[in-house]
Each structure stands twice: as C-alpha cells, then as structure tokens.
Chain A
Amino acid sequence: MNKHHSRLLQRTYLVLIFGFMYLPIAVLIAYSFNENKSRTVFSGFTLGWYKSLLHNEMILSALGLSVVLALVSSVLATVLGTLATIGIHSMSRKSQLIINNISYVPVVNPEIITGVSLMLLFVLCGRLGIGGDNGLFGWTTLLIAHITFNVPYVIFNVAPKLRQLDPSLYTAALDLGCTPRQAFFKVLLPQLSPAILSAFLICLTYSIDDFIISYFNCGTMQTLPIAIYSMTRKKVSPEINALSAIMFLVILGIILISNAADSHVYRKNQAAIRRDAAGQKEVEAA
C-alpha cells in the first residue's frame, strides 16, 4: 500500500468516526426546525418549536429540576469526594485497597440495583417515621441518590492526580511555615484543581443524564429524562429536539470558551517563562 492510499484510508476512518458521533445530533437539530411533527418528512422551516418550548411549563420545570439537581449534587459530591480522596491517600496500603474497592462497587454495579436499593432504603426510612407524614420522597431522595452515585467518580478522578503529586511538597510547605490548613488550600488544592474540575464536570453530566436511579427515587417530582420517556406512548414532541439543540450549543459554547481561556493562560505562562529566561541571560551576561 502506498502512502497515498494509506492517507485516504486514514481520512475515511476519521470521517466515519466523526460521522457516527455527530450525524445523529445534526439530524436532531435539523428536525427541530421542521414545520410538522414528523421525524421523517421535512415540510418546511419554522422556529415554532423553540417558541412553544418557552411556553411548555412541564418541560421547563423538568429541565429546571434537572439542572439545579445536577449543580447541587455535583458540588456536594465533589467536596465529599475530594475530602474522601485525601483521607484515603493517607491511609495504610491495605486499608487503601479495601476502601478503593468498596467505593468502586457502585460504579460497576448496574444502575438499576443502585436505584431500587436506594428506593427500598427510603421506603424503609419512611416506615420508620423519618421524613414526617409525607415520607422522604422528592427533592431529598433525589439529592441523596445523585450524590451517592457521583462520589465514586470524584474519588477515581482525583486519586490518580493525588498519587502523582510529590508528597514532599506538602511537607515542604509545612517546613516553610504554613499551617496545615494553609498548606492544604495554598499548595495541595491548586495542584489538584484540574482533576477536581474534571470530576465536577463528569458528575454534572452523569447527573443530568441519569434516568434509572432518578426514576425510582423521584417521588412526585420529574427530571427531564423522565419527562421525555413518558412521552413515548404518544409521539415525543419536537420541542424536545429544540431543547436538545439548545443544550448541545450551550455545552459546545462552554467547551470552546474554557479551551480558549486555557490556551490564553498557557500562552501567558509561556511568555512569562521566556521573559524570565531572557532576564536571567541578561543577568548572566552582565
């Protein structure tokens, strides 16, 4: 095979992969502008579904619940998970192994088991009188459930980064006069922050995505995936296409902005390093 052929093969492969990844989204966005409700016949362009989405209280309140739940549960899970990671890190090797394996179980466990077992637990709590007359079900149970399945993801995101850190950094900070708290906030946390941020984003996505666990623990509330699922006897409304298109664009926007910010910081750092190096040379020359 000559070079030209292999180049062609590489290109085709890339196009195929990206096609599979992004074509469905493109189709979905295209049909959000379709005049009729069909998902096969395109009859004309309209922005009507976007307008009607703004008036659909059920979808909007489900979206609101999903977003608030995702934000609150991810923040709490990230804090809990980060603290847990640091705690686990300073344990003995054996207990580290045990704790890590225990926290790994919820990740590999099928969601349905997590969902049903949490529900049974909450029902039991209700029977025991916890949560008053109304039982716990609703916001409380949803939040607990989401934090529960999010914490392990934080641990497994932050732990490798913590392991990579030079342990003497923390000791050095103490040597140089930091209190343990200062050493944590000024030395440890800044080093871990990329891992913590990515853990937070993963939690956010899992939480917005989650259907099964929420389904069993939502009580009389309704997250967005549940609202969409319940439309399947009739026909899923094109308003959902419109909503998905907006969500996709928002996420794309966030990614682009954060990348731009990252590269800005990187360039600034590089420039500073170069300036320093130049300054050093001047000093040496003098």
Chain B
Amino acid sequence: MNRIMRRFLVSGVAAASLVAALPATALAEAAPIQVNEDIQVSGDYDWTRFADEHITLNVYNWGLYISDGSDESVDVISAFEDLTGISINYTTFDSNESLYAKIKSGGANYDVIFPSDYMVGKMIEEDMLAPLDYDNIPNMANIGSEYLGWGFDPDNTYSVPYMWGTTGIIYNTTMVQEPPTSWADLWDVEYAGNVLMFNNSRDAYAIAAKKLGLSLNPSSVEEVTTVMQELQKQKPIVQAYVMDEIFDKMEGGEAAMAPYYAGDALTMIADNPDLAFVSPTEGVNFFVDSMCIPVTCKYKEAAEMFINYLCEPSVGYQNCDYIGYSTPITAVWEMLDDDLKYSPIAYPDEEVMQKAEAFVTLSDEVNSALDQQWSEMKSYDENGNGWMVVVFLVAALLISGWNITRKMRKRMRDDY
C-alpha cells in the first residue's frame, strides 16, 4: 500500500509543479480529444501545429515493442499520424549495441530512439543525445517518480521512461523438486543440462555478480575476471545460452529453469500454466527502456510531441497491453486489471525493488574486458573435445593419401 500511496503523492506533486510552471495552458482544462475508439489524448496540447509541414519522423524502436495493429491490437502509430498530420517511418532494432552502432556510424538519422538504461548513459557520455524540452512533454508528469532519476540519467535531462521490468528466474514447477529462490539455484548440479542462460554478456554477468554479492556494474577488470570464473563454473550445467529461443524451450518443457525478463515470463506463463516466476533474493536487475532524441534529429519539437503522445495514458495502456512489460505511467497502471496490477511478477513489491540495481555505463576498459572474457568463456571447452580435430585431420590425410595412390596406380597402369 505504501508504494501505491507514494505513486499518487508523487504524481500529484509533479502535476502541481507543472501547474506552477505553465499556468496559462494548465488552468483552462480543455476536453480530451478522441482520436479513435480506444485512444484519447489531452485537449490542452497543440497536437496539430505541424499538420501542414509534411514532416516525417524516423522512429527506431525494439522489434515488437509498440502496439502496431498486429494481433488484434490498436495501431497507436497511425492514430498519431491521424491526430497530428506527422508521418512516422517506424523501423526496429534487435539490441542496444546495434542501435548504437547504427547511429555512431552515421549511416542513419533518427528522430526518436528507444535505448535501455546503460546505453542511454553511454550515449549521453558521447554527446549523442539532445536534452529534452519538457515544455513540449507535459505528460512527463504522468511518469511515476520511482522510474525517474536513476544513475544513467540522474535528472532525466535526456530520457523519458517507456517500459521497465526486472529479471528473475522462470521455472517449470513440474520439473523442479523445490521452487528456486536465488540465483545460486542456477548453479545447482541437480539440474545439470536443464538450465538455460542469457546469451548476452551484460545480463549473464549480472546474474553471476549478484550470486557473489557483487554489483552488476563491475568497476575493475579483476572484478570481471572473478565473476566470469563463476560463469565458467556454471557452464557444464547450462543446456544452452539463449535469447528468444527461451520461449519455445520453456513452454515446451525442454528446460527446468531459465533467467529472463519478467514481462516475457508473464507471456510464457499464459501459454504454459506449469511455469512460474521468482525474483531471486540476492537482488535483481531493474531495466528501463527509454525514449530519447539523438542530436542529429531534424524535427526536435515534433519528436518531443511523439514522446508526449506515447506518455498519454490511453496510448501507454495499449502499448503495455501489447508488449506485456511494466509501465512507468501511473495512470496506465491504474487502468490495468487487478490480476496484472497486483501481480508480483510485473510490479514486484518494495522489498524486491529496494534490492534491484540498474545497469550503468561501464568504462571502455572494463566493457571490452567483459565482452572478451564472455566470448572466451563461451568458446572454452573444459572437457576438451580437442582430439576430435586430430581424428578429422587424420581421416582427411588418409582419404587424400588413398586418392593419390589410386591416381598413381592408374597412371602406372596407363603407362603400360
């Protein structure tokens, strides 16, 4: 209850300060605008000021990370186009790293991008993001305060939270003796060959670090080495390092436990009721995917309008419903079904959140050590199937030798 009270209080205070800042617009409460049957937006915002300018915004988001009209969802993008007359060129990426590479290479100019926490930090450090003008994003007041002010962007100068979540263990209740409670259970030899693991260095590292009681943001190369040794120890137990394959493997009962994102765990549990989710006691990773504007943006004010639109409660609700991750918008949370609203998976209690840690940007040295040791860890083979190489080599030599002698014999025969 405490947490919920806090939400109300905070959004109230934020709204009050907004009233103080913008008396003229906020005092006269205009009627909300109904865009279509499911989407209505606030009436005291000038949505149509770019209607005649034929602007196209380039939006770059995670794949399947917006309610786009597929699978009987509401198409929030075309609703925005109808509302504002701005067209959206919507494209998608698969990881923070490919987003970063794309923008850094200069191969494309985007207007709105959706990096996660640590990537926001990295891009701020490298001056790739433009500070936001919150006069154009009044809906920032809708965002709950617990999702603001994290280490990667302490004053939210550059980023507005879009979706958030935590990591945890998803497990098959019919395949485990006792429900797991801690990350250390992923090291339990009893489940050898039945454990899946993140196939991405940062998330996998976080788990091993938390198990050892360390921060998931290493500060030195030595720290990375210690944690990687822990991952090395886990390797014989791990069935596979996976990302999206986890859906099929867990739903199909091919593995007993796997760490993954809470929002996706909800999807898997809906498909296979034998599955369950736990937030491990050592503490979890809290992640926020944020909305940012790169410095190369052409139409910054229009981009801010798009961000403001995505923070509208009715839009946020559609997105939250489609994606299944947790929403940072207080009003959206209030609209959810009670099942989801009080779900300990999607909105974990204070205890979990207090121990949760967000990623921050690592120094270049630590980051490259992490990447390098991660790939070494994955390619290193303890049992050493090295003799297989020798067998293949010998076989290849034998075959070619046989071929050569055959040819020679043939030639000798032909000579006669």
Chain A residues near B (Cβ < 8 Å): 36-41, 52-53, 55-59, 119, 122-123, 126, 134-135, 137, 216-222, 226-227, 229-237, 239
Residues of A within 8 A of B251 (CB): 38, 40-41
B60 at the interface (CB under 8 A from A): yes
**Among A52, A122, A226, contact of B70 (Cβ-Cβ < 8 Å):** A52
Stretch at the interface among B46-54, B241-249, B336-344, B377-385: B241-249
| Contacts known (A40-B252, A235-B247); A119 close to B70, Cβ less than 8 A | no
Task: Kindly state the separation between the CA atoms of A182 and B69 in the bound complex, as whole angstroms.
Answer: 55
Task: Kindly state the separation between the CA atoms of A122 and B108 in the bound complex, as whole angstroms.
Answer: 11
The 5 A-B pairs of least Cβ separation, nearest first, read A40-B252, A230-B63, A230-B92, A231-B63, A56-B70
Contacting A at CB under 8 A, from B358-414, are none
Interface size class of B (residues with CB under 8 A): 35 or more
B271 touches A37 (CB 8 A): yes
Residues of B within 8 A of A37 (CB): 247, 271
New contact pairs (10) apart from A231-B244, A233-B94, CB-CB < 8 Å? A38-B252, A52-B70, A56-B68, A57-B68, A137-B109, A218-B108, A220-B89, A230-B93, A234-B64, A235-B247
A123 touches B105 (CB 8 A): yes
Residues of B within 8 A of A52 (CB): 70-72
Residues of B within 8 A of A233 (CB): 62-64, 94-95, 243-244
Q: Is the interface of B mostly helix, strand, loop or mixed?
A: mixed
13 contacts between A and B (CB under 8 A): A39-B247, A40-B251, A40-B254, A41-B252, A52-B72, A57-B75, A57-B78, A123-B105, A217-B107, A220-B58, A230-B93, A234-B64, A235-B267
Chain B residues near A (Cβ < 8 Å): 58, 60, 62-65, 68-72, 75, 77-78, 89-95, 105-110, 243-244, 247-248, 251-252, 254, 264, 267, 271-272, 323
Residues of B within 8 A of A36 (CB): 271
A123 touches B248 (CB 8 A): no
Q: How far is the CB of B51 from chain A (nearest CB, A)?
A: 21
B244 touches A55 (CB 8 A): no
> Which among B75, B95, B247 has the greatest number of chain A C-beta atoms within 10 A?
B247
B264 touches A234 (CB 8 A): yes
A231 touches B64 (CB 8 A): yes
B63 touches A219 (CB 8 A): no
Residues of A within 8 A of B247 (CB): 37-39, 235
Task: Kindly state the separation between the CA atoms of A48 and B63 in the bound complex, as whole angstroms.
Answer: 21
B248 touches A38 (CB 8 A): yes
- Closest-by-CB residue of B relative to A53 is B70
Task: Kindly state the separation between the CA atoms of A230 and B64 in the bound complex, as whole angstroms.
Answer: 8
- Closest-by-CB residue of B relative to A122 is B107
Residues of B within 8 A of A227 (CB): 63, 91-92
Q: How far is the CB of A224 from chain B (nearest CB, A)?
A: 12
Q: How far is the CB of A227 from chain B (nearest CB, A)?
A: 6
B92 touches A234 (CB 8 A): no
**Among B110, B243, B254, contact of A232 (Cβ-Cβ < 8 Å):** B243
